[in-house]
Structures are given as C-alpha cells and as structure tokens.
Structure 1
Amino acid sequence: MEYDELIRGFGNFGNYQRRLYIVLFLPIIFNSFSSPVTNFLLGHQQHRCRIPGLDNDTYKIQSENHQQLINLTIPRKLDGDYEECMVVSNGSLETCNDWVYDTSMFQSTVNSQFNLVCDKKLMRSHAVMAYFIGTVVSTIVFVPLGDIVGRRYMVCVSTTLTFIANIAMPFSINIYMFSVCRFFDGFCGNCLYMASFIIGMEFVGPKNRILAGTCILLVYCLGEFILLLLGFLIRDWKWLQFTLAVPMAIPLLYWWPKVLPESPRWLVSRKRYKEALKILRNVAKANHVEFNKDLSGVKIRNDEGILKILKELLKSRKLMFRSTIMLSNWFVISFIYYGLTLNMGKLAGNLFINFAIGVTVEAMGYSLCFLMNKTGRKPMHLVVMFGSGFGCLLSILPALFFDSSLTWLLVAFAMVGKFGISAAFGEIYIYTGELFPTVVRSFVLGFCGVGARLGATISPYIYHFADGTFGEALPLIIFGGSTIIVAVMSIKLPETRGRKLLESVKDAQHEDALKIDKYDNDNVCSEDTSGWSETSPL
C-alpha cells in the first residue's frame, strides 16, 4: 500500500488535519514578517548634511527655523532638491559625514542609526541580501538534513534559532551585526517554513493539497497585514523588531510532542513503525475513523542518489529543455516578487497605502490558484506571466509624460505586476511537479528552488537603477521585460491537467498517451513531493 492511499483513508482534511494546520499557521505568520519587514526597518528617510556650527541641529529645526541658512550651506541638485551628501564648510564644498534625518515617516531606521547613506548607501542592499543568502544556504542544507533528523526536529530547532536571531537584531551595534542576524533569520526562518509546510502536506491526502497549500499562502498574507499594522503603529525600528520577535517564542512549545507531532510518513520511511502507528491512531480517533493496519507494508519512495537522478535527467533532451525553461521561470518569478515586495517604499505615494494594496493584490493572486483545476496549468501560467509583464512595462507611460499627477498610475501598473507574479508563485510549484517524472521530480524542484532564491538575492539591488531617466519606472521595466521573455519561453511547455503523473523518463517521451478523460484531483501531485515542498515566497 502506498502512503498516500493510507492517509486518504483517514479523510483528506479531517478534524486532526485542521487542528494541525492551526498550529502550523504560527510559523507561517512569523515567516511572513521576515522579508517585507525591511520596508520598515530600512525605510527611506529624507536627509541632509548637518549644518556646521548649528547647535541641536535636526531636520525639523533646519526646515522650520533656518531656511536661509540651509540655502547658504546646502547646495542644490539639478532637479532643485537639496544635496544629501554635500555641505558648504569654511567657504568650500565638502562631503559631509554627519546627517540629520526627517522623522515624519519613521522616528528611527537602520539607515539613520548606522548612517547608511551616500557612499554607504549600498550597505542597505547588502543587509537585505544577507537574508536571502541565508535562504539559499538553508534551501541547499535542508533537503538532506530534513530527511535525516526528521521534520518535527527541524521545526523545533529552527523555531528556537529564529527566535534568537530576531530577538538579538534590535541590539545590533553596527550594520555587520544586523546583517549577520538577518542571515540567520533567513536561514532558520526558511528551514522553519519548509519543515512546517512539509509536515502539513504529509498529513493531507492528495485531493486537498492544492487547497491546503493555497490556504497557507493566504495565511502568509494575513501575517503581512499584521506586519503592516505594527509598522504603522511603531515607527522606531528597534521597538518594531522587538515587538515582532517576542511572539516568536510561542512556537517553542512545539518541543512538546503533543503540540506538534512528527510526520508519520517520515517515521515509516525510517521504519519507526511503532511511533508512526501511535500518531496515526490519534489521527483516526480525531477524524472518527477506524484504523487497524500493519505499517510494515506501507511503501515510501526513497531518493535514488544524485548521480542516478542526474543520469536519468540527462538522458532526455526534452526534460533538459524543460528544466531550463522552468529554472528561468522560478528565477524571474522570485526576482520580481521580491523586487516589488521589498521596495514598496520606493514607489510613489504613501508606503503604508502601497503596502496594503500590494498585500491585498497578492492575496487575490494566490486565490487564483483555486481555479487551476478548471483553467488548466499552462493557460493560467501564461496569462499571469504575460499579464504581470505587460503591467510592469506599462509603467513607462507615466515616466514618459513626467507628470507628478500620474504617479498613482505607476503604482497601479506595479500592482498589476504584483497580482500576476503572486498568482505565478502560487501555481508554479504544482505545474513544475507535474512536468517531470517521479525519478527526477524532487531534484528538479530543489534545483528550481535554489534558482528562485538566487533571484530573490539579487532583487534588493534593482532599485539602484531608479535614479536614471525613467526614475521609479525603470525597475518595473526591467521586471516586465524579463517576465515577458520567460513567458514566451513557456509557450513551449505542455498542458498537464488531466494527465497522469509521469513515472519515468520514458513516460516523458510519450506523455500524450497519459491523458485521461476526466480530471481527477487525487492525481494532482499524488507522488512523493516531500523532497521539496516550497510553494510560496516564504
């Protein structure tokens, strides 16, 4: 008997699974803070050089009481704004090393505390990148480690280390300590999310995996709304980070096995039948079903080794071509999603309004995944990718007119891009899993996942191009162009709705013969996809 057939007998999503998902929602919510919080921790503050000889100098005092002194001391740029890095001192123009900051939006940020401006401006992106380097490393490390020590143990260890990294962050004494904390936040938080997600998926039957996975994405959006509320109420970065970190101690209760059980699937794969049997009996009791089976006959597919997997993949030119297309998709989707999410504050308009609109649009995009069984995989993928690409490209219009009254249009086009790319993030995992046979599926998904993390890692740097001729529109143009390119590449992909999952490389050469007349939800990713279970930007 296959494990999926066994778990289906308990009810695909019964009382036990619902209670388990409530427990697992906490790590998802906390993980949702990690990447977009940089909009608030590293939020942009207007700044000018401190005026030499002016006592108790602040940005507010300069603006309200010393306008004439500012005009004499701070030179202006070509666009009429005051220089941020130059000051007139002793009759000569000099580069300053002390600044005053506007506190109307944020009382304090990492930028203002460590003076990450002018020649240190790039350090902001380095600090953001540290988080994503952590996620890249954890993505590579997690797959083998999670299979060795177990899902529950990974959740517990990651929970503890995530709490330590986040609670230490407000006490950073320099940007380097802050970046190290961000690295461990990315590393441990990503492991926490993946392990939590895998436990949830391994307790759910194949029929409900799209539903369960999409619900997790929506919970992620709920966490972003909580972050927005706290970011609006707390404008000091240290207190905001501390407030976000303290509740992360709650999942430390997961060390108690009654709160979070181990995955029976993993226990069976390790031949720990007695422990798995105890957990499955609890599932049966909660779901009001009978369970009297011997687990020794349950089959779990084991990974066959990296060399054998690569050999199987390299056998097929079709699969290699398909792998290239999907790797490009994952890279670009992650690149654009994080590029838009991490830089809400750099779009025209109010940060908090833009962030709220962005999260709402993101939730709407994820909700499209519920329609995958009706629309098919390929049509949805092409529509959301082309839609996102053209939405971003259209941002060139308000830039060409150079009319400040059209800045709302720039935000609107960015939100169209965010909607499409969020939907793509929700559906790409399922589509990728169905495009590849069982023998290479986990490897390809892991490979694409690393590509996605690399895309996320370079995304913080893209808004350094926002100072050019097209200003804020240029990053969106880059996003749109790259999305259109991979969308055109994806036209070559086949539809997978209504097709049985591929088992071998040989099946991939004759996949049209695997079509079935009536679409069966139980067929969707019903194979072992536990080797890689990341379906979102978390």
Structure 2
Amino acid sequence: MMGSKLDGLLSQLGTGRWNIIHYLALSYCVSLPAYHTLAGAFLTPNQEFECLPSAHEHDPNTTLTFLNTHLSKQGSCDYLEKNIMTGETIKRACKHWSFDDSIFTSTVTSEYRLVCGREYLRATYTSIYMFGVLVGSPLNGLLADKYGRRPTITIGSLVYFVIAVGSCWLPTLSTLLISRFLLGTMHATIMKTGYILAMEVSSPRVRSVLGIVLFLPWALGTMAWGGAAYLIRDWRWLQLAVSLLCIFFLPTLLLLDESPRWLVVRGYHTHALTVLQRAARWNKVDLQPPHRINQIIRESQNEVRTGTAGRGDACVGQSLLKEYCCSAFILFRSPRLRVITVGMLVNYLVVGMVYYGVSLSGDHLSKDPFVYMVLMGLVEVPAYTLMVPVVVRCGRKAPTIFFFFFSGVVLLFLPFIPRGCLWVVVTLAMLGKMTITSAFQVLALYSSELFPTEVRIRGTSIAFMMSRLGSMASPFITEYLGARHSWAPSVVFGAASVVAGLATLALPETLGAALPDTITQLEDRALLERSRNVLRLLTGEPGRWRVCRCRDGPSSGQHLHICLAHPPCPRSHASGP
C-alpha cells in the first residue's frame, strides 16, 4: 500500500535536523492563537463601575439616588432624580460611567462602555471569534487539500498577523468585532494545517509522541498570556505585544517544505522527490536511489487516481460555494468514512462544549484573573505530557473512551457534593478539566490518523469546526441554564461526555497502522478487517488469520487479502497492517 511505502521512506529519514526545524516552527505557531482565543478574560472583563449623571441632566435643586441593578457589582444603570422644590422623582437611565481601574487601566469594556444593556457585547467579543473559526475551518480544509499545506500556512499566518496588529488601533467596536471574526477564520489555518503538516513530515516512530506534545505550547501560551496581562494593563498595548510575537514565526516559513505525502497524493512527483532528497541531506541519511523512489511514487499514482475517482475530484470545476459544500459531503459517501466522520463530529462537539464550559464554571478558583489564567494553563500541562506514554502503549481509542467516561462521571457527581465541601468541588472540577483536555489532545492525534490523506485536512477541519459550535453553546449553558438550576450545567456536560464515549466505541484503532492515503484504502482495510473477524468467529481461533499483501507479478501492484498466520505466508506474501 502507498501509505506503508511512504511511511517506509519517512522511517528511513528518521528524526533529524529537517524534522526538528519543522516541529519547533510549527509548535511555536500553535501557541500564537492562544492569546487571541482567550483574549476576553483580560480585554473584556466584568469591571466594577459607577454612574456619572451628565451635568445638564440635573440642577442644584435636585438630589440624586442611585439604583443598583444585577448588571453590575457596585455600579448603577439607573438613578432617581428628585426635585427638592416640588418633590417630584424621575427615574433616568445612566449614560456615562466611571470604571474601576485598580486592576485594568484600559479595557474594551470601559472604552466602549459595555455595561447596562450592552454587557452582552462582552460575550459577543469572544463568541464572534469562535464563529469565525466555525466558518473558516471547512474553508481552510478545502484550501489546504487543494493548494497544499505550506501555502495555506504562509498566507494564513501573514493575514493573521496583519489583522491582529491592525485591530489594536481600530476606533469603533463594530470594526473591532469584524476583525475578531476575521482572526477566527484564520485560526484553523494556523492550528489545524500546521498540526497536519507536522504529522505528515514525521517518522512513524515519533508520530504518536508528536501528536500530543505539539500542543504543549498552547498550555505554555495560556500561562504566558496571564503573565503578559499582569505586566501590561492597557488592552491596546497588551494586544499589540502578543500580536508582535508572530514576527518570530514568519522567517521560519522559508525553511518549511511542503508535505511529501500531499505532493504524492496530488501527483507532484518531481517536487516530492526533491523534498525527500533535501530532507535526507539535512538529516544526513541515505535514501534509496532516486529511480527507486520514483518507482514507489509512480506505483502509487494509479492507486491514488482509482481511489479518488468519483470522490475527491467530483467537486473540482464547480463554483466555490458548490465546491465548499461538496467537499463536506464527500466525508459521508462511503460506509467506514461515514462512521469516522459522525464519530469525530460528535466527539469534537462535546469536547469543545465541555472544555470551555468547565473553564467558564471555574471562576471561583481565584479572584485574581491573572493567577486564574496561569492555573488554567498549568492544569493542562499534564494532559499534554502524560498522554505521550498513554497513547504509545494503549493506543488512541481506549484512552479517548476512558477520558470521556471519567470526565462524565466526575461532572455528574458534582451536584451531589454538599455546599460546605468547596475544596471537593474544586478538586473534581479540575479533574474534569484535566481529563477533558486529555481527550481533546488524543482526539487531535486520533482524527489525523483516521481520515485518509486526500480528505485529512477537510475531515479534521470540519470536525474541529464542531468544537467551535460546542464552545459557542457552553456560555449559554453555564449562564442561562445555570441561573435557573445550578446543578444543570454539570449534568449536561457530564451526560454529553458519556455520549461521546459511547460514540467512540464504533471507531477503529489506529495504533501501529499505516496512514491511509485514499478513501479506497480506508474502505478496503475495513472490509478485510470484517472478513478477518468473520473467519476468526467461524474457526474459533482468534490468532490464526491476518491481513496480508500479495504481488501478482514482478510489475504488478499489491493487493490485500486474508491469509493464515501459521504456517507463515509463502514468499509471494508479506504480512502487513
């Protein structure tokens, strides 16, 4: 199979200077969106304020009485104006406020007066970014699959940098919200495409470790975001400072290569050979002779064309909107791919909802917003580090199911904790946060291995898009549902986690399996797996049957079939995944 042949070439390359440059550059790239994703904590905080009636609205013959409302902590949205001479009292709406600047000297909340009927715009500031991610994820998948990983990352990171810096000086709230939406559309370009490129240039031996550790900079970026906000209390200078960090990533774009796997799948064989030879020189290893590498690539060409016929190419030549929609429906056209797609959509929807929902419910951990942000990142560090030996030894499927079930049980147990045991509630909430973060990280690796190369970016981007739907729904669950029934958010999040764990039972394990490059390979593998299970059931000997590859002749391609594990296959057979 082409997947195993390409993995064989990447195994020969090993992990050297060429791979490490890609890993370092792309992991730094992954940390950059953390500041803007979590910007609402410091740019649109819930500040204390007081009403300042305009001078022309009252005269010396009046006295003022303020009406405290639920919209503020110590401020006022209305005031009573009582005329001393007539005794008449008039209720007036406040139009000017004085904001507490003891923590923040300047915020979007205070500058644009997001209080008293406008406080929903604070939530909008965060949710519109998520909405941009929702819109941009499938479009990013389409562009990266069609035009390549490297051009998509290059253009996306440049646009992200320009918008992030430019938004620091926008004069109106409406333009600021538009810039937030545009930043969100570029989010998946940096996060998902960068992640996929790192996975596709990695050796199979380190792919499991890399798939988890690559997101560690996100947790470090979260902690750094808390530190930067502590040092810089003006929102415009704070956003400018973290946006300028993109400058350090831009020069590394000159060192990144296109994914050899994508080049082979798309038919750019000469370019693929050039990239592999450059990687061999940088890693100081000897690959097979060029004619042998070209032979491997050419043998893959017919398989790719056969596998993509009527699927990936069916959308080419249509309008952008039709191609956009068609690319999404491709993921539902074959049985195994349909199961994978539905399972990933459910998992990502739940993990996004629970991840941000638990975060929004944890404000009682600290009254200091800077310490709280650092703690958020610190809790996630074990999820990015301890998962490495877990996925290497236990695979992807079993840990994902365990983390979903464990998080669900913990969250479902929260409503039964007595109110006096606050430390128990905090401990369980942090366990739930850590386990759902662990599920999030395993899913990133799991989804990149489940989808075939020809639709990998498309599939992972649309799945990632569902996590944004979940994150957009979580504030409504915590604020509106929680205001009516304090126990409801934990029950909703816990039940959703259990449902996601059940949905994962239908997905295949990917540990030790070659990455599928075409939908045909994926379906053939599923068919052979079912046939092997039937033979095991009929013979009653679980270890007797295995999937093998056989070559019909010296110049013919290889085919998968079921063979006996004992005695060993003849010389014309070679065991495979």
Following superposition, the deviation at residue 10 of structure 1 comes to 0.8
Q: Report the equivalent of 1:59.
A: none
Match runs of 1:46-125 below 5 Å: 46-50=48-52, 73-76=65-68, 82=74, 84-90=76-82, 91-125=89-123
CA contact (8 A) 1:129 1:458 kept: no
Partners of 2:193 and 2:246 lie apart in 1 by 16
The residue type equivalent to 1:188 in the other structure is M
Q: Report the equivalent of 2:290.
A: 293
Provide, for residues 389-430 of structure 1, a one-character-per-residue CA deviation record: whole Å limited to 9, x for no partner: 2333444356x63x6xx5555443332221111111111244
Residue 137 of structure 2 corresponds to residue 147 of structure 1: no
Evaluate the alpha carbon distance shift between residue 31 and residue 194 of structure 1 in structure 2; reply closer, same or farther with a 3 A threshold.
same
Partners of 2:485 and 2:71 lie apart in 1 by 14
Evaluate the alpha carbon distance shift between residue 41 and residue 395 of structure 1 in structure 2; reply closer, same or farther with a 3 A threshold.
farther
2:399 to 380, 385, 399: 380
Q: Report the equivalent of 1:61.
A: none
Match runs of 1:402-417 below 5 Å: 409-417=424-432
CA contact (8 A) 1:327 1:448 kept: yes
Q: Report the equivalent of 1:6.
A: 9
Q: Report the equivalent of 1:20.
A: 22
Residue 337 of structure 2 corresponds to residue 339 of structure 1: no
Match runs of 1:306-385 below 5 Å: 313=332, 316=335, 320=338, 323-341=341-359, 349-370=367-388, 371-385=390-404
Following superposition, the deviation at residue 114 of structure 1 comes to 1.0
Query: 3-state SS of the aligned residue for 1:285?
Result: helix
Following superposition, the deviation at residue 338 of structure 1 comes to 2.9
Q: Report the equivalent of 1:531.
A: none
Q: Report the equivalent of 2:43.
A: 41
Q: Pick the structure with more strand per residue.
A: 2
Evaluate the alpha carbon distance shift between residue 351 and residue 389 of structure 1 in structure 2; reply closer, same or farther with a 3 A threshold.
farther
Following superposition, the deviation at residue 134 of structure 1 comes to 1.8
Provide, for residues 188-231 of structure 1, a one-character-per-residue CA deviation record: whole Å limited to 9, x for no partner: 23212333223222211222211112121112212222212101
TM-score by length of 2: 0.75
Query: 3-state SS of the aligned residue for 2:103?
Result: coil
Query: 3-state SS of the aligned residue for 2:285?
Result: coil
CA contact (8 A) 1:39 1:344 kept: no
The residue type equivalent to 1:468 in the other structure is A
CA contact (8 A) 2:114 2:122 kept: yes
CA contact (8 A) 1:312 1:505 kept: no
Partners of 1:121 and 1:338 lie apart in 2 by 20
Evaluate the alpha carbon distance shift between residue 435 and residue 191 of structure 1 in structure 2; reply closer, same or farther with a 3 A threshold.
closer
Following superposition, the deviation at residue 268 of structure 1 comes to 3.8
Following superposition, the deviation at residue 141 of structure 1 comes to 1.2
Query: 3-state SS of the aligned residue for 2:114?
Result: coil
Following superposition, the deviation at residue 46 of structure 1 comes to 1.9
Evaluate the alpha carbon distance shift between residue 81 and residue 158 of structure 1 in structure 2; reply closer, same or farther with a 3 A threshold.
closer
Match runs of 1:178-327 below 5 Å: 178-254=176-252, 257=254, 259-291=255-287, 292-294=289-291, 295-297=293-295, 298=297, 299=300, 301=304, 303-304=308-309, 305=311, 313=332, 316=335, 320=338, 323-327=341-345
Evaluate the alpha carbon distance shift between residue 484 and residue 289 of structure 1 in structure 2; reply closer, same or farther with a 3 A threshold.
same
Aligned length: 495
Partners of 1:135 and 1:203 lie apart in 2 by 25
Partners of 2:51 and 2:135 lie apart in 1 by 39
Evaluate the alpha carbon distance shift between residue 137 and residue 469 of structure 1 in structure 2; reply closer, same or farther with a 3 A threshold.
closer
Evaluate the alpha carbon distance shift between residue 232 and residue 493 of structure 1 in structure 2; reply closer, same or farther with a 3 A threshold.
same
Which sections of structure 1, spanning at least 5 residues, go unmatched? 56-68, 518-538
Provide, for residues 307-360 of structure 1, a one-character-per-residue CA deviation record: whole Å limited to 9, x for no partner: 6996895564x8756644432221010122233446765766332222222212
Partners of 1:80 and 1:342 lie apart in 2 by 18
The residue type equivalent to 2:256 in the other structure is L
CA contact (8 A) 1:86 1:93 kept: yes
CA contact (8 A) 1:347 1:411 kept: yes
After TM superposition, the structure 1 stretch with the greater mean CA deviation from structure 2, 336-345 or 218-227, is 336-345
Partners of 1:88 and 1:418 lie apart in 2 by 46
Which sections of structure 2, spanning at least 5 residues, go unmatched? 83-88, 316-326, 537-541, 544-577
Partners of 1:361 and 1:289 lie apart in 2 by 40
Q: Which has more radius of gyration? A: 2
CA contact (8 A) 1:39 1:345 kept: no
Provide, for residues 95-115 of structure 1, a one-character-per-residue CA deviation record: whole Å limited to 9, x for no partner: 322222222322222111111
Provide, for residues 365-384 of structure 1, a one-character-per-residue CA deviation record: whole Å limited to 9, x for no partner: 23343112323434322321
TM-score by length of 1: 0.80
Q: Report the equivalent of 1:428.
A: 443
Q: Report the equivalent of 1:157.
A: 155
Q: Report the equivalent of 1:521.
A: none
Evaluate the alpha carbon distance shift between residue 312 and residue 38 of structure 1 in structure 2; reply closer, same or farther with a 3 A threshold.
closer
CA contact (8 A) 1:107 1:235 kept: yes
The residue type equivalent to 1:225 in the other structure is M
CA contact (8 A) 2:193 2:457 kept: no
CA contact (8 A) 2:412 2:494 kept: yes
Q: Report the equivalent of 1:468.
A: 483
Following superposition, the deviation at residue 167 of structure 1 comes to 0.5
Evaluate the alpha carbon distance shift between residue 282 and residue 29 of structure 1 in structure 2; reply closer, same or farther with a 3 A threshold.
same
Evaluate the alpha carbon distance shift between residue 485 and residue 182 of structure 1 in structure 2; reply closer, same or farther with a 3 A threshold.
same
Q: Report the equivalent of 2:569.
A: none
Evaluate the alpha carbon distance shift between residue 115 and residue 128 of structure 1 in structure 2; reply closer, same or farther with a 3 A threshold.
same
Evaluate the alpha carbon distance shift between residue 238 and residue 206 of structure 1 in structure 2; reply closer, same or farther with a 3 A threshold.
same
Partners of 2:43 and 2:22 lie apart in 1 by 32
Following superposition, the deviation at residue 26 of structure 1 comes to 2.6
Query: 3-state SS of the aligned residue for 2:214?
Result: helix
The residue type equivalent to 2:372 in the other structure is N
Evaluate the alpha carbon distance shift between residue 86 and residue 510 of structure 1 in structure 2; reply closer, same or farther with a 3 A threshold.
farther
Partners of 2:509 and 2:213 lie apart in 1 by 24
CA contact (8 A) 1:36 1:341 kept: no
Evaluate the alpha carbon distance shift between residue 86 and residue 222 of structure 1 in structure 2; reply closer, same or farther with a 3 A threshold.
same
Evaluate the alpha carbon distance shift between residue 413 and residue 93 of structure 1 in structure 2; reply closer, same or farther with a 3 A threshold.
farther
Evaluate the alpha carbon distance shift between residue 270 and residue 382 of structure 1 in structure 2; reply closer, same or farther with a 3 A threshold.
closer
CA contact (8 A) 2:53 2:94 kept: no
Residue 463 of structure 2 corresponds to residue 448 of structure 1: yes
Query: 3-state SS of the aligned residue for 1:73?
Result: strand
Q: Report the equivalent of 2:547.
A: none
Provide, for residues 28-76 of structure 1, a one-character-per-residue CA deviation record: whole Å limited to 9, x for no partner: 1212222122211122212232256599xxxxxxxxxxxxx99x72234
CA contact (8 A) 1:108 1:237 kept: yes
Query: 3-state SS of the aligned residue for 1:108?
Result: coil
